[in-house]
Amino acid sequence: MLKDEKTLVVVKPDGIQRSLIGEIVKRYERSGLKLVGLKMVVPTADFVRQHYTVDPEWFVKTGTKTIESYKKKGKTPLSEDPLKITEIVLKNLIKFMTAGPVVAMVWQGMHAVGVVRKITGGTEPLTSDVGTIRGDLTLDSYEASDTDGRAVRNLIHASGSAEEARKEIALWFKPEEILNYKLANDAILYDVNLDSILE
């Protein structure tokens, strides 16, 4: 069911170090989505690799997105081969994501994947829309991170599709760690007839 869609959000080590956990939770929470899972962990290298390779197309997509972004700015990417680029990205991402604690969350609600991606903003903070978490709260770019040989520090991971979310949630959470509960807000968001408001 669309209104039960779930998505995974991970506040990356830069989000924790910047003391932005509360601000980030607030931005998703006020959308009407429901928080149904929450934990703080320091991921291992193997776990991060597993997480990013859950989607077999991730290697091609991430490299291609990086190349396109360079070209759009009239710059030359480090390589024309998306796979070569992603190989480096993954190595740097593992270093980044294992550097300290992260907070993993599962958000549930209508169009959860799309709503969370919208609130999160595009991958590169320099070009993420104003009003999004990545656009408002940090300032990294592909160029800066590639020059320094590190991952883009963009505060958040958010699942790319409902299918990806299913796999990622199964990786990060045991089934019993995902809670099923009613929120008072659910009524005004989802009830077809609003006949329980007036007494």
Q: Which residues are catalytic?
A: 157
Site string for ligand ADP, 3-22 (x = CB under 6 A): --------------------
Residue 65 touches ligand ADP, criterion: CB under 6 A: yes
Q: Which amino acid is at 194?
A: L
Directed axis angle between helix 82-97 and helix 45-52, to 10°? 140
Least distance (Å) between residue 188 CB and ligand ADP: 31
CA-CA-CA-CA torsion sign (47, 51, 52, 57): positive
Residue 66 touches ligand ADP, criterion: CB under 6 A: yes
* Cβ distance to ligand ADP smaller for residue 46 or 68: 68
- Out of 28, 59, 107, 142, which residue is the one contacting ligand ADP (CB under 6 A)? 142
Residue closest to ligand ADP, measured at CB:
123
Helix (H) or strand (E) holding 38: strand 34-41
Least distance (Å) between residue 58 CB and ligand ADP: 6
Tell me the C-alpha distance between 174 and 5, whole Å: 17
Q: Are 69 and 142 in contact (CB under 8 A)?
A: yes
Cβ-in-10-Å burial (0-12, 13-18, 19+) of 178 comes to: middle
Beta pairing partners, 157: 10
Residue 138 touches ligand ADP, criterion: CB under 6 A: no
- Out of 151, 164, 165, 172, which residue is the one contacting ligand ADP (CB under 6 A)? 151
Per-residue DSSP letter, 143:
H
3-state SS, residue 7: strand
Residue 89 touches ligand ADP, criterion: CB under 6 A: yes
Least distance (Å) between residue 29 CB and ligand ADP: 21
Please report, as ranges, the residues that interact with ligand ADP according to CB under 6 A. 62, 65-66, 89, 92-93, 123, 142, 145-146, 151-152, 154, 157, 160
